[in-house]
Structure 1
Amino acid sequence: MTLRRYLTRLFAARAFGALAALAALLQLLDLLDKAGEVLADGGGAADVARYAALRLPTLLGHAVPVAVLVGAVLTFLRLAATSEMAALRAAGVGGWRVLGALAPACALAAAAQLALLLAVAPRTERALADWWAGRDSPAAGEAAALPRRLWLRNGGDIVAADAVSLDGSRLGGVLIVRRDEEGGVAARIEARGAEHGGSAPGWVLRDASVVRPGRPRAEAVASLPWPDGPPPAAVRELARPTEALPPDRLLAGLRGEGAVSRGPAFYATRAQSAAASPAAPFLMALLALPAAFGVARRGGGWKRAAVGLALGLGYLAAAGLLGALGEAGALPPLLAAWAPPFLFAAAGVLLLQQEEG
């Protein structure tokens, strides 16, 4: 218990310092890139502060694994420099017990990362996206043109829109391709616009043109009910997507429920990556542990620390690359999400066994 408290205190201080430094650096780089756009429309320091505050949870969530890696490396270098690790080994305390002493702190870091990326970041990113879009089109009830046409799947229908209001209740330039149970085209509907929340339940298409297979001419309809259209909240999220997805949207996309704009591979990979992400802090501590076995007078700790840092950063790069391939459907989601932690954990175990052998 005494060893756990001592190592946790050393590790927590260094990891928290690394997290603060990384967050400050990332925040500075982000502001250097976006401050000009924030101030372009007459925004002042308050707008810059608002932007920074809404971006902070995402930056912190992505910085947690690197902060754990740096904190663990610095902690183990301290043990090597003061010969405390040599004393622990002489007392029969090996590397696995040292790693176990840090397990509660790593579990806390994993919980913080999950909370930031799955609970806090989706809300702040959505608030940022809505605020940013509202700067260019302040009228929430008017459909604002999108940079590119929005395509989504709503049940069996394919839907496209050229403009979406800030609250998602109005659409412009609507195209609906209705499909039958066999996947064939049952109808093609084009409309000048669509409104939700009027006197009729659901959506109402305005100035619509309906083309059905086997009919030579299109049918013009001034007002056409669309009761099974997507919810306005879903349209708003898909029109101005955010990087972080809340668990309910992630699971709905995984099951193919509601309106989605991505394929099944994207949601499956995101879900598997979220399940694998708690392993990152434990893996970072494992990769950094060989730094504690260096001899201070020979500089061995720094060489081992460099290897641990390279492996830790390599894991993050590999996880990002394979995750992108999985989301694109080039790799099975299970392989894309779980291959990096298993491979790098095996490398960490081999290094630790080599040090203790």
Structure 2
Amino acid sequence: MSKAARPPRFVLFRYLSGVLINRVLLCSAVLVGLLEILALLEQTTPILQRHLGIAGILTYAGMRLPFLLAGALPLSMLIGALFMLSQMTMASEMAILQASGLSVLGLFKRMLPAALLIGVVGVVMDDQVTPRSEQALAAWWNRTDPHPEKGHSFWFHEGQQVARVAYVADGGNMLSGLDIYSRDKKGLLQEVIHAESADYTHARGWVLHSIKRIQVQDHTAVQLSPEDQKNWATSLHPWDFIRLSAENPPLSSGTIIGMLRGHLPSDSSPGFLQAGLLERFLRPAAMLVLLLIAMPVIYIPPRTGARSWLPVWCLGAGLLFIVAQGLLRAMGNAGLLPPAVATIPGLIIFTLGAATVLLRNEAK
């Protein structure tokens, strides 16, 4: 009997998982397509002004694709689950499954692995694919910029040094207006170096040009003789400056951990980095919450069908969850909330809310 009972269970598991994954992929394709069109409407003119042509448009769209896909996954999970469960309910499939003894918990358990798999894919996209594609896109965009001097300046710290760069050019291989402030272990200023420019070669590393130096000795500033060239002893590479010049670039977990430990240069606060790392690895849990929020649509009355407002309420609750998580994360980024408070309470609150709705409907 046990051997005969196993095949239906796994058949149902494969069916539900396959349908859920297919619906989520379909929704992701539609959302990403719309986002790509909107992005290209904004960027096509600058691309053509740089004389990059159709190849430039396709390059931009291809490099932007991982970022858009990773951002669309939560909403795709919500809409895909609603679409799947609503179809099954209105086709009486859900009534047949419940009549055969399948509980709401059993239904959730059979869709849980697929939701976790989608969440893990989102983690991999956020952690490995998106940072590389966005960095390649930023380097390509900077390299093809005919007026890099219009770029914005930025600050960063590396070890005991604080530096400012006016702008980056040539895909990160050239820096302009570089100011380096060296401090001792107590944080007191020791030396200021200003270089008109710096360029990178694989043979020599970073070379500073047109250098002016000021040393601070016994609370007295001493200006040293100018130098034409000087090697800059730093562990930074061109791609590091491309990352630092971008506004809120996607970061891999390895990069975030290196910044938190002080091994890599950073222009972000520790709270911002910790919240981003925690939110990333809670992505599978967020997918489970979105699936749970979508599940009340299985209680659509048979006579109501497509006229029911239940899918709309579930969609609204899911969107509220996504917005609430974004607001809490923004407060964590601003340092108003600890990283754990900015990421975990939203998951717990909406899980309890969705579970309460399911239990009340089961009790009726």
CA contact (8 A) 1:208 1:224 kept: no
2:65 is matched with: 56
- Amino acid in the other structure paired with 2:259: G
Say whether the 8 Å CA contact 2:85–2:298 is kept in structure 1.
yes
Q: Deviations over 1:291-318 (max 9, x none)?
A: 0112120349832211211111111111
- Deviation track 1:97-127 (CA, whole Å, cap 9, x = no partner) reads 1011111211221122122222211121112
Cα distance in 1 between the residues matched to 2:177 and 2:255: 26
Q: Does 1:327 align with 2:336?
A: no
RMSD of Structure 2 on Structure 1 (CA):
2.4
Tell me the residue number matched to 2:354.
348
* Corresponding residue number in structure 1 for 2:265: 259
% identical equivalent positions: 27
Residue 24 of structure 1 deviates from its aligned partner by: 1.2
Provide runs of 4+ in structure 1 moved above 4 Å: 195-205
**Which amino acid in structure 2 is aligned with residue 317 of structure 1?**
V
SS of equivalent residue, structure 1 residue 160: strand
Q: Distance in 2 between matches of 1:294 and 1:238?
A: 51
TM-score scaled by length of structure 1 = 0.90
Structure 2 unaligned blocks of 5 or more: 1-9
Task: Tell me, in whole angstroms, the C-alpha distance in 2 between the residues paired with 1:70 and 1:217.
Answer: 65
- For 1:338, give the aligned amino acid: I
2:244 corresponds to which of 238, 245, 258: 238
Q: How does 1:27-66 map to 2 (within 5 A)?
A: 27-66=36-75
In structure 2, give the amino acid aligned to 1:173.
G
| CA contact 2:156–2:265 (8 Å) conserved in 1 | yes
Summarize the alignment of residues 1-357 of structure 1 with structure 2, pairs less than 5 Å apart. Answer: 1-137=10-146, 144-145=148-149, 147-197=151-201, 203-204=207-208, 206-213=210-217, 214-222=219-227, 223-228=229-234, 230-240=236-246, 243-299=249-305, 302-357=308-363
Whether the 8 Å CA contact 1:235–1:259 is kept in 2: the answer is no
Tell me, yes or no, if the aligned pair for 1:191 and 1:207 is still in contact at 8 Å. yes
1:313-355 CA-to-partner distances (Å, cap 9, x unmatched) read: 1111111121122122121111112222222111111111111
Partner SS, residue 334 of structure 1: coil
Unaligned runs of 5+ in 1: 139-143
SS at match of 1:93: coil
- Give the partner amino acid of 1:133: N
| Amino acid corresponding to residue 274 of structure 1 in structure 2 | R
SS at match of 2:309: helix
1:32-85 alpha-carbon deviations (Å, 9 max, x no partner): 122222222233222211211111111111111111111111121123213332
CA contact (8 A) 1:122 1:242 kept: no
Deviation at 1:189? 2.5
Amino acid aligned to 2:220: R
Residues 197 and 209 in structure 2, CA contact (< 8 A), matched pair in contact too: yes
Q: Distance in 2 between the 1:201 and 1:310 partners?
A: 54
CA distance in 2, matches of 1:342, 1:40: 49
CA distance in 1, matches of 2:188, 2:27: 56
TM-score by length of 2: 0.88
Residues 247/88 of structure 1: CA separation in 2 closer, same or farther (3 Å cut): same
Q: Secondary structure at the match of 1:210?
A: strand
After alignment, is 152-161 or 43-52 more displaced? 43-52
Q: Distance in 1 between matches of 2:351 and 2:312?
A: 17
How much has 1:87 moved relative to structure 2? 2.9
Shift of residue 274, structure 1, vs aligned partner: 0.7
